[in-house]
Structure 1
């Protein structure tokens, strides 16, 4: 009986320590907001509302742009668009996200590029307005710029 009480006491102690460890564990890093909308102008290739979605894992971050207003001019294979997204830092300077990831798209399909990879620092505040998205497809470069600040506001990284 005494051995059973010791085992029960040890189990309760271990359980309490596990709960305390979970409660005291550091919060995961996160970017806020997780997504923002903007209006983009892609010159003769069109323009309209687009959504940027951000993720963060330490100093590594990704951005994905989707837009139903900006469409694929021709059918495109998966991972066939070389994209460079330049965002403006709140304190000055820029941060670049780049990659060649995109889903396959038929002519007229909504455009999606990303996730594009970049590096951020804690406290970085990044805004699309003043930056650009350059997409190179079959040697043709399409540059899109935001026509105003993104909503609800800049991305702020932990």
Structure 2
């Protein structure tokens, strides 16, 4: 009789273990940023300006932002030829800089897309590109292009988990 009791208990333990493992497989990701994308308006001086879309991702303390701008490139630009720094104001004071040399190949007249730019964030960071100063600085073929954000991000700042 002892064997007959042990087997169902062992089977039940195996079933509980299998359910637990399956639950881990479907568990949500470790960190998230909200909102995942936002828009803001930038003024890049003689280079133009307009609305830009910023898309953010997060994995722990590592975060990336990709920016697609209304500013267009006057000439073709090869992949990974634009060096960029995107400075975001922290809601609690200070700034966080996302940087990199990452862009897709761009034809003349294409909207400038930069990123993913890499940065480090802390849980609870609230970041917006609207502040007094240059929000986006780019170097393209040795030429510096500086852009100021003229509006806050909509629907709001990026808040990191």
Q: Which SS does the other structure have where 1:83 is aligned?
A: strand
Measured after TM superposition, the shift of residue 107 of structure 1 is 0.7
Aligned to 1:153: 156
Aligned residues: 156
Measured after TM superposition, the shift of residue 57 of structure 1 is 0.7
Runs (4+) of structure 1 exceeding 4 A deviation are 1-7, 19-23
TM-score between both structures, scaled by the size of structure 1:
0.89
Measured after TM superposition, the shift of residue 8 of structure 1 is 3.8
Q: Which SS does the other structure have where 1:38 is aligned?
A: strand
CA distance in 2, matches of 1:79, 1:17: 44
Aligned to 1:78: 79
Aligned to 2:66: 64
**Counterpart among 38, 43, 46 of residue 44 in structure 1:** 46
Matches for 1:89-100 after TM superposition, within 5 Å: 89-100=90-101
Measured after TM superposition, the shift of residue 110 of structure 1 is 1.1
CA distance in 2, matches of 1:88, 1:97: 11
Q: Does 1:137 align with 2:122?
A: no
CA distances 1:19-74 after superposition (whole Å, capped 9, x unpaired):
56568x6752111110100111111101111001111111111110002x211121
CA distance in 2, matches of 1:132, 1:109: 21
CA distance in 2, matches of 1:52, 1:8: 51
Aligned to 1:106: 107
CA distance in 1, matches of 2:42, 2:104: 20
The root-mean-square deviation of aligned C-alpha atoms, in Å, is 2.2
